[in-house]
Chain A
């Protein structure tokens, strides 16, 4: 009575054939061209793609890349540690690279520019070097400002004003380098007096509608007026403006921090020489001179590259200070934990 029916036998056979077909069709790893370097880019595609095309033009080496957010990119590189799929991790805040060093992901390499880069733009052993710098800014919605009779905020204390209640969006320190840079900026303007800095952040809390997962997560809501304003990296803010959203960019008179963007060679890379070639190029004026042409609003890291005039205009008069890597590195975890306990979930 329980003889297996015909359909099941035929079905299994079809299933097996299909499985086999899929396996043989896709199973083989596609052959790669000899002169191709594989890259995970943390920079969005619309900034990374023109850079890589210029690189190919200059060197004849093709860049095969996929874009991931910094956390996803790092999680992948960690998972692929024993058998790396890419040669270079490109772009993204240096904190991501610091976390990668702890996991032993990178190969030390000092490109020719290494010697001329300021200390905060390189890891001492050459595990990463900086390719750009990215200051924080205040970005506010023009219509929101007008409706509430406000001027663009020019001081950290301006953000405490009642009209901002429940109208700010900024990044969550558990997930975003933008947020960590912001918190260390607040510490810095308060003379590293932690209690004073945390008092300020607690006062700011009721005005924050949402702490977003990613650094740029709040830019669209601010652009659309869902939120009145927030604190973002300048590239994200200028990009919002370029998209046509009516936003205002301003700086606090007390000063605000900036964070570098890095590049690193993956340990065990299949094409280390090509990877090094890309690092040489990206850390030199050869790439960073292209920022202006493609409207990539990063501040160049290499001292010989001039800042693009319109970007320089935005930055004019702004008080910007680098975050002390040593101080931040030593206190980061403790400060973030305190932020979670006292500010995020009091």
Chain B
């Protein structure tokens, strides 16, 4: 294996490691240190009084346990749902069009701005909801609480699990399943003892990503959790924006770091003990294993269709809200809302697109580079680097936003009011999705594959280009896609980073919702969904040109 000190033989690696550390120090460690300093000092003096009061408050402690419960449930249900969809998509031998339809429906929640699912939930299941009141005739229904928050978050985040699991399932060499079957195992036994264990790194990753996403989400609970089920990110947000207590709010958010890191470490060590190499390069090309009985196939399809229908219904409601005068009051057709967003909102649209266009490639490269280095290269501080890179992802956006605002407002590094601060926030907050995807993908590749290539006389760069690169391309594009999508849809951190010079569509949506302008908010949301779908379709087109044989079809990852 390579030396612990990399520089001696490999200057490029040394440079890459140093550059990444410098960036992580500047955009992850430095802002949090500044925030920490702000929390622990009061007019220059060290203090902990405010923080202790907040952390020992019994309501906040309850909110902490609520957050954990919600995150666990969202992680579990979301992973299960993601697996259901990924399994169906890869094993049920669906026709292309049906596959495309499922992909599109699954990706909708992922590409839509915050609040949309939550608001659709209230419209449908509230006390005067379309479903609860008008269809079922129920009265006095309460929509606020754990159940609706859970449902809304699972629907919003399960696509992340789907995106993580689908390439893994597709990459499992079906010969292994076939062999198990020919040795006499039933389909169920193959599924239980071969397929699922092979997916464990992916399942763990998906769970981690969902757990972290739920832990950090404040938009959904803000609307749906109500008064009976407070959660920590919302409490932290309220502490800052409602009680003007930056110190207490930041302290509450830091508490969230503990479970987020704990789950991360657990996953790291638990997963790393499993054996999951399936891309061995040996004996491919036989007839794929038929892993589903017809009845099971139908059941799986029906389950997927039900979930997809709920999603489609939610978004149909959104589309409808964007073309009527005022949803619930005046249902006359109008295009007025679109006129508004393309005049008053044009600057926000332009700014958002410019920022997303820069954040996307940067975030993609960052994810693959870091993911590759920490999995396949040995250097001092490898684990630490991976851990540090996850921090901005695990922390609630409100805190990241405030930390950036504090750190980059004053000299020496003055970035407030620029687009760069928003781009940096996106790259380091959403790039980790690409890192996780790269790590998961690389763990699937047997070293013998690379060794064989080199043994056959290929140089290391050829090996990389022909063997490793095609295998991590899906991860690269997953990272790229997520950063772009988040650049179009994120709000919790960036609400503190938009400025007089740079505005964002999501901030406009929030503003419209607070101003009761549901129409423009819906129109903006529809626009975001359309833009993301168009861009991802274009990326998919370009990718097909570079489609490397033997790799997971990268385009399918992004729903095209």
A residues with a Cβ closer than 8 A to B are 1-9, 11-12, 14-16, 18-19, 21-23, 25-30, 38, 44-46, 64-69, 71-72, 74-76, 78-80, 82-83, 85-86, 99, 103, 165-167, 172, 174-176, 209-211, 213-214, 216-217, 219-221, 223-227, 236, 239-240, 243-246, 340, 344-345
Contacts of B372 in A (CB 8 A): 8
Chain A proximity of B98: nearest CB distance (Å): 36
Kindly state the separation between the CA atoms of A141 and B86 in the bound complex, as whole angstroms.
46
Q: Chain A residue with minimal CB distance to B241?
A: A71
Contact B461 A2 (CB under 8 A): no
Q: Which residues of B contact A78 (CB under 8 A)?
A: 244, 246
Indicate which residue in A45, A65, A85 contacts B416 across the interface (CB closer than 8 Å). Answer: A85
Report if A14-B365 is in contact (Cβ < 8 Å); known contacts: A2-B10, A27-B415, A44-B511: yes
- Complex contact A223–B328 (CB within 8 A): yes
Query: Which residues of the other chain, B, contact A340 by a CB distance below 8 angstroms?
Result: 59
Which residues in B have their C-beta under 8 angstroms from that of A175? 238, 241-243
Q: Is the CB of A2 within 8 A of B377?
A: yes
CA distance A30 to B503 in the complex (A): 14
The answer, yes or no, to whether B477 is at the interface (CB within 8 Å) is no
Query: A12 touching B402 by the CB < 8 A rule?
Result: no
Chain B interface residue bracket vs A: 35 or more
Q: Across the interface, do A44 and B515 meet the contact criterion of CB distance under 8 Å?
A: yes
User: B329 an interface residue at 8 Å Cβ cutoff?
Assistant: yes
B246 contacts A245, C-beta separation under 8 Å: no
Alpha-carbon gap, A6 to B418, bound state (A): 34
Evaluate contact between B409 and A19: CB separation under 8 angstroms: no
A and B contact pairs by CB, cutoff 8 A, 28 listed? A1-B460, A3-B10, A5-B463, A8-B12, A8-B372, A9-B12, A12-B16, A14-B361, A16-B19, A23-B420, A27-B415, A30-B417, A30-B501, A67-B511, A69-B514, A78-B244, A78-B246, A79-B406, A80-B416, A83-B410, A85-B409, A85-B499, A99-B244, A174-B238, A213-B238, A226-B122, A226-B127, A226-B129
- Residues of chain A within 8 A (CB-CB) of B320 are none
**Contact: B410 with A226, CB < 8 Å?**
no
Taking a contact as CB atoms under 8 Å apart, the answer to whether B369 and A79 are in contact is no
Which partner residue on chain B sits nearest A100 by CB separation? B244
From A226, which residue of chain B is reached at the shortest CB distance?
A: B126
Check B415 against A210 for contact (C-beta < 8 Å). Answer: no
Q: Tell me if B227 and A211 are in contact (CB < 8 A).
A: yes
Instruction: State whether A166 touches B142 (Cβ < 8 A).
Output: yes
Q: Tell me whether A345 and B59 are in contact in the complex, defined as CB-CB below 8 angstroms, given that A210-B144, A219-B516, A227-B127 are known contacts.
A: yes
Distance in angstroms between the alpha carbons of A12 and B17 in the assembled complex: 10
Q: List the one stretch of B298-306, B464-472, B548-556 in contact with chain A.
A: B464-472
Whether B59 pairs with A246 at a CB distance below 8 angstroms is no
Contact partner, B128, options A1, A6, A27, A225, Cβ 8 Å = A225
Whole-angstrom CA separation of A221 from B454 in the bound complex: 66
Q: Looking at the assembled complex, report how far the CB atom of A205 sits from the nearest CB atom of chain B, in whole angstroms.
A: 10
In the complex the two chains form, what is the Cα distance from A244 to B334 in whole Å? 14
Besides A85-B499, A217-B514, 17 new A-B residue pairs in contact (Cβ under 8 A), listed by A number: A5-B464, A7-B469, A12-B16, A27-B418, A27-B420, A38-B500, A44-B515, A71-B240, A75-B244, A78-B246, A80-B409, A82-B409, A86-B500, A166-B140, A166-B142, A224-B123, A226-B122
**Cα separation A64 to B552 with both chains bound (whole Å):** 49
Which residue of chain B lies nearest to A2 when distances are taken between CB atoms in the complex?
A: B2
Contacts of B241 in A (CB 8 A): 69, 71-72, 74-75, 175
Is A224 in contact with B128, judged by CB distance below 8 angstroms? yes
Contacts of B496 in A (CB 8 A): 72, 75-76, 79
Is A12 touching B366 in the complex (CB atoms < 8 A)?
no
State whether B418 touches A12 (Cβ < 8 A).
Answer: no
**B522 at the A interface (CB under 8 A):** no
Residues on A with beta carbons closer than 8 Å to the beta carbon of B454: 1
- Cα A178 to Cα B217 in complex, Å, equals 26
Chain A residue with Cβ nearest B496: A76
Contact B500 A64 (CB under 8 A): yes
Determine if B32 is an interface residue (Cβ-Cβ < 8 Å). no
Q: Are B16 and A176 in contact (CB under 8 A)?
A: no
Asked if A209 and B142 make an inter-chain contact with CB atoms under 8 angstroms apart, the answer reads: yes
Give the contacting residue for B369; candidates A11, A22, A30, A211; CB below 8 A: A11
Of B238, B402, B516, which one neighbours A223 at CB under 8 angstroms? B516
Cβ of A89 to closest chain B Cβ, rounded Å: 13
Q: Does B68 contact A (CB under 8 A)?
A: no
Q: Which residues of chain A are near B9, meaning CB under 8 Å?
A: 2-3
Taking the closest CB of chain B, its distance from the CB of A152, in whole angstroms, is 18
Chain A residues contacting B469 (CB-CB under 8 Å) are: 7
**Would you list which residues of chain B between 320 and 351 have a CB under 8 Å from chain A?**
325-330, 344
Most chain B CB neighbours (cut-off 10 Å) among A18, A209, A217: A209
| Given known A-B contacts A11-B368, A66-B500, A75-B246, A44 and B128 have beta carbons under 8 A apart | no
B227 CB contacts on chain A under 8 angstroms = 172, 210-211, 344-345
Contact yes or no, A245 B499, CB < 8 A: no
Residues of A within 8 A of B483 (CB): none
Which 10 A/B pairs are nearest by Cβ-Cβ distance? A175-B242, A71-B241, A5-B464, A6-B461, A26-B419, A4-B12, A2-B2, A224-B328, A225-B128, A15-B365
